[in-house]
Amino acid sequence: MSNGADGGTYCNAGAAEPLVSVIVPVYNVARTLDRCVNSILHQTYQHLEIILIDDGSTDGSSRLCDALDARDSRIKVIHQRNQGLSAARNVGVDHAHGVFVCFVDSDDWLMPEYVGSMVDAAVRYQADMVICGYSNVSMSGNTSQSLPYGGVCNGREYLNHADIINSVYTVAWNRLYRIDLCRTVRFPDNLLYEDRYTFFRFFHEANIVVGLGKSLYCYDNNPDGITHAINDVRKLDLAQVYLTEIRFYLDHGYDSILRGYANTLTELFLKLIGTVYRQRKEESREAYPQRVNWLLAELDDLLPRIRPYISSCIAAYCALLCRHVKVYMAFAGLRYRWRGHMDPLFRLLHRAKAWVAKHIVRPLRNMSH
Rounded to an integer, the average pLDDT of 21-26 is: 98
Tell me, what's the pLDDT at 204? 97
Tell me, what's the pLDDT at 203? 97
pLDDT band (50, 70, 90) for residue 334: very low
CA distance 22 to 103: 6
Residue 65: CB atoms within 10 A of its CB come to 24
Rounded to an integer, the average pLDDT of 12-36 is: 88
Provide CB contacts within 8 A for 112, sequence distance 6+. 39, 42, 43, 44
Tell me, what's the pLDDT at 182? 97
CA distance 347 to 302: 34
Q: Among 4-8, 14-18, 67-71, 204-208, whose mean pLDDT is lowest?
A: 4-8
Provide CB contacts within 8 A for 341, sequence distance 6+. 334
pLDDT in tens, 114-144: 999 999 999 999 999 999 999 998 777 778 8
pLDDT band (50, 70, 90) for residue 3: very low
pLDDT in tens, 320-332: 555 544 444 444 4
Selected residue with higher pLDDT from 313 and 170: 170
CA distance 266 to 307: 9
Looking at residue 298, its amino acid is E
Phi/psi for 156 (5° steps) reads -70, -40
Selected residue with higher pLDDT from 359 and 132: 132
- Of the candidates 289, 91, 267, which has an alpha carbon nearest to the alpha carbon of residue 182? 91
Residue 121: CB atoms within 10 A of its CB come to 20
pLDDT band (50, 70, 90) for residue 251: very high
Rounded to an integer, the average pLDDT of 331-347 is: 50
Task: Please check the confidence at residue 162 and state whether its pLDDT lies above 60.
Answer: yes
Alpha carbon 221 to its chain centroid, in Å, reads 15
Give the β-pairing of 152-153 and 129-137.
Answer: unpaired
CA distance 267 to 205: 28
Looking at residue 202, its amino acid is F
Rounded to an integer, the average pLDDT of 70-92 is: 96
Cα-based distances in Å from 92 to 23, 119, 218: 6, 19, 21
